[in-house]
Amino acid sequence: MAWKKMCLNKKFLPNRDKYIMLVPKIETLTTQKRILILLIFLSSITFQSTVFADIKESAGEQYRILGYEEQQKGNLNAALTYYTKAIALGVNDAVVLNDIGVLYEQAHFPVKAEQHYLKAISVDRNYLPPYSNLGYLYLNRREKEKAFKYLKIRFERSEAGDPWAEKAKHEIISIYPQYKQIIMKLDAKRLSMEVQEKARQDFVLEVEQFQKHFQRGNDFTRVQKYGEAIREYDVALHLNPNSIKVMEAKQRARIELTKQNVKERSELAIKLLNSGDTLSAKREVQKILTEIPNEPILVSE
């Protein structure tokens, strides 16, 4: 009865608003914990996946290296085993695929060799060796049309001086002699491009050398080494005889060098004169006169 009376009294009624507010607060906290746990779990999975991917990639690269070493030794079976493991671990490299094709061809499995050459091209169309390999594979199988197709690509995409391009060219002509005219035009075009590129490179190098000697001349001028500066300016003018800025810089250096020489000889002449050696002093004065040019040195501003 006493408890009922207390409950009926508003002063002792339970605070429901506070109770109601506590419920969502507890739920929100629980949700945050769940989200945090989920994020930690996902981060752990991502980290493990990244680490595993790195290990997998490293192992694949190691197998590729071992395969290449065995291939160089002539151990075809061991090389093929390592290369296959590298591919299984995700190494998708045109060089590896091409090398596997070579191994299969040497082991007299031409179909598998063809498959790997084609796959190598699909991975990297700019990697040229599988084009040659396919061309010669098809030639051995007397499939001239296919051989012509890949050898033609090998020749047309190659750079000058590529020995395999020259071999491909001779094979192309032997398959289709009428293609010789086209090859001659391609060779002429390539030669012209090489000459142009060589001229461009020479010009760039010449400009770099010109700037180098001009800058060195300026550096010598700043430290008042005018003789060295003039020599650098002369080299720059040899590379670019019409450079006004070098001509003017050289003239300024000549003027400063003249001033420097006159000052030194004047000081020496005075010392000789004070010592009583008038003859030597007179000679120094005569040298001073030869230092000063008869015509004024003009330098544009």
- Which pLDDT tens digit goes with each residue over 101-155? 998 998 899 999 999 999 999 999 999 999 999 999 999 999 999 999 999 999 8
Contact 125, 142 (CB under 8 A): no
Per-residue model confidence (pLDDT) at position 150: 94
Mean pLDDT of 49-72: 70
Task: Assess if residue 224 is contained within a domain.
Answer: yes
> CB count, 10 Å around CB of 259?
13
- 164 — pLDDT class (breaks 50, 70, 90): confident
Read off the pTM.
0.49
Mean pLDDT of 5-16: 40
Q: From CA 144, how far away is CA 138, in angstroms rounded?
A: 7
Supply the mean pLDDT for the chain. Answer: 76
Task: Assess if residue 235 is contained within a domain.
Answer: yes
Q: From CA 32, how far away is CA 109, in angstroms rounded?
A: 61
Task: Assess if residue 259 is contained within a domain.
Answer: yes
Of 16 and 106, which is predicted with more confidence? Answer: 106
Lowest mean pLDDT among 64-68, 150-154, 263-267: 263-267
Examine the fold and report which residue of 91, 109, 139 is the final residue of a domain before the chain moves on.
91
Q: From CA 282, how far away is CA 266, in angstroms rounded?
A: 10
> CB count, 10 Å around CB of 283?
15
Task: Assess if residue 278 is contained within a domain.
Answer: yes
Task: Assess if residue 144 is contained within a domain.
Answer: no
Examine the fold and report which residue of 91, 110, 131 is the final residue of a domain before the chain moves on.
91
* pLDDT beyond 70 at 45: no
Structure tokens at 94: 């045109």
* Domain of residue 71, residue span: 16-91
Q: From CA 234, how far away is CA 249, in angstroms rounded?
A: 11
Task: Assess if residue 109 is contained within a domain.
Answer: no
Structure tokens at 263: 């000052």
- 159 — pLDDT class (breaks 50, 70, 90): confident
Q: From CA 165, how far away is CA 149, in angstroms rounded?
A: 14
Mean pLDDT of 161-190: 80
Residues in the chain: 301
- 46 — pLDDT class (breaks 50, 70, 90): very low
Find the helix packing angle between 94-106 and 110-123, rounded to 10°: 170
Number of domains in the chain: 2
Examine the fold and report which residue of 31, 64, 91 is the final residue of a domain before the chain moves on.
91
Q: From CA 208, how far away is CA 229, in angstroms rounded?
A: 18
Task: Assess if residue 156 is contained within a domain.
Answer: no
* pLDDT beyond 50 at 283: yes
Task: Assess if residue 187 is contained within a domain.
Answer: no
**How much of the chain, in percent, has pLDDT values that exceed 90?**
23
